[in-house]
Homo-oligomer: A and B are copies of this chain.
Amino acid sequence: MDYITSVSKPLLVVGIAHGEPIAIFRTFIMKNVSLKDIAQKVGTSISTVSFVLNGKEKQVRISDILAKKIREVAKKEGYLPNKMAIGLKTGKSNIVGLVVDTISGRLFAALAEVIEKELDNHGYKVIYCSTGNNAKKGKELIELLYQHQVDGYMIIPAEGMEKEIGQLEEQGKPLVLIDSYFPKLKTAHVLVDNYGGISDAVDFLVKKQYKKIAFVYNDVAMIQMKERKRAYQEKMKGAGIKPLADWLLKVPFADAGEEQALKIELFLKKVQPDAVIFAANYLGIHGIEAIHNLKLKFPADIGIICFDDHEVFNLHQPAITVVKQPVPELAKTAVAILLAKLRKEPSSAPDAVEIKAKLIERQSTR
């Protein structure tokens, strides 16, 4: 590790706040203060303290003086309830588990921000976990969340998670899937209108007189990708163009980035399409790399359009035309469904929602 430039070993710091008098910190120090401690200090019982601190003093008719005293002491001592104990007792955690495929994906980042904010407004915290599209990890994570008594689940499902998701459902756990679902299960889900999005892309390219339109997708055998592919094939046929088998390129999801770019490069070189649809944003990114490497220019040499937007596409010169997923709407809708389930409301809203994607024309098509 010749990387390390400068190191220093800090002093052992015990109870000292550098530059600050220790007394100030003492007041706010987080100790393991329990209800028992407070009860003793105040000279009352644990139950009374619990009632007051949970705002149930009126129901149980505890005197204002006592209640006030209890609150004061709790504050002074810096009481923080032990969530483990509460969870064990009540079976509730006020936590929602969000399971995603990869944490570095754009979809996740955009989703997470909205979901965290929305759920926070309702008193729920979010735990994130990522499966890396690995079935075993997915199973483990769901079990882990289950063991931690998570109240609700939001899952971007991956291959191989069908069984665990089915089990959560059987248990009646509040659960909503995002971005995909398993057709065999009737789990609540919200996702983009994949079929419609790719249909729009094909229509758009056909109207622009593109003829040889290629389609680059991945090997994730989930409904969202299947729908995109189906839309491509049906719409092409509808336009009177029969796409040859070799106009389609399936890039393994697990391949390294450079490997994917290389495969796309070879594909484009061989097939020489006049336009390409990339069925996922990361494929589009690798596609741009490939096109750069081939020294092709777009839209002059080739037209491109990508399903799902990304910062890169907007900033690129020329900017890339995309089919944009309404990610904030997806997130909000999913949260709304989950909240209804958490509240055990007779969900008035539909439990299976598709939201339209929107084609945004930029400069990567003629």
Contact partners of A188 in chain B: CB under 8 A: 10
A6 to chain B, nearest CB (A): 5
A127: Cβ under 8 A from any B Cβ: yes
Q: Across the two chains, which residue of chain B brings its CB closest to A193?
A: B5
Q: Is the interface of A mostly helix, strand, loop or mixed?
A: mixed
Contact partners of A169 in chain B: CB under 8 A: 13
CB-contact partner of A184 in B1, B5, B17, B170, under 8 A: B17
How many A residues are at the interface, by size bracket?
35 or more
Contact partners of A113 in chain B: CB under 8 A: 102-104, 130
A255: Cβ under 8 A from any B Cβ: no
The reply to whether B147 and A82 contact each other, CB–CB distance below 8 Å, is yes
A317: Cβ under 8 A from any B Cβ: yes
Contact partners of A167 in chain B: CB under 8 A: 25, 28-30
The reply to whether A288 and B315 contact each other, CB–CB distance below 8 Å, is yes
Report Cα–Cα, A184/B81, bound state, in Å.
30
Given A10-B186, A166-B25, is A171 in contact with B311 using a C-beta cutoff of 8 Å? Answer: no
Report Cα–Cα, A312/B30, bound state, in Å.
43
A285: Cβ under 8 A from any B Cβ: yes
The reply to whether B7 and A352 contact each other, CB–CB distance below 8 Å, is yes
The reply to whether B316 and A315 contact each other, CB–CB distance below 8 Å, is yes
The reply to whether A353 and B7 contact each other, CB–CB distance below 8 Å, is yes
Report Cα–Cα, A83/B109, bound state, in Å.
28
The reply to whether A20 and B315 contact each other, CB–CB distance below 8 Å, is no
CB-contact partner of A18 in B163, B168, B184, under 8 A: B184
Contact partners of A11 in chain B: CB under 8 A: 186
Q: Across the two chains, which residue of chain B brings its CB closest to A98?
A: B128
A9: Cβ under 8 A from any B Cβ: yes
The reply to whether A185 and B30 contact each other, CB–CB distance below 8 Å, is no
Q: Please choose the segment from A57-65, A84-92, A239-247 that sits at the chain B interface, where 4 or more of its residues have CB less than 8 A away.
A: A84-92
The reply to whether A9 and B350 contact each other, CB–CB distance below 8 Å, is yes
A72: Cβ under 8 A from any B Cβ: no
Known: A30-B171, A125-B144. 7 other contacts (CB 8 A): A1-B329, A4-B353, A5-B354, A5-B355, A5-B356, A7-B353, A30-B143
Kindly list the 7 A-B residue pairs having the minimum CB-CB distance in the complex, ordered from nearest: A10-B186, A104-B109, A7-B350, A84-B87, A84-B88, A83-B147, A128-B128
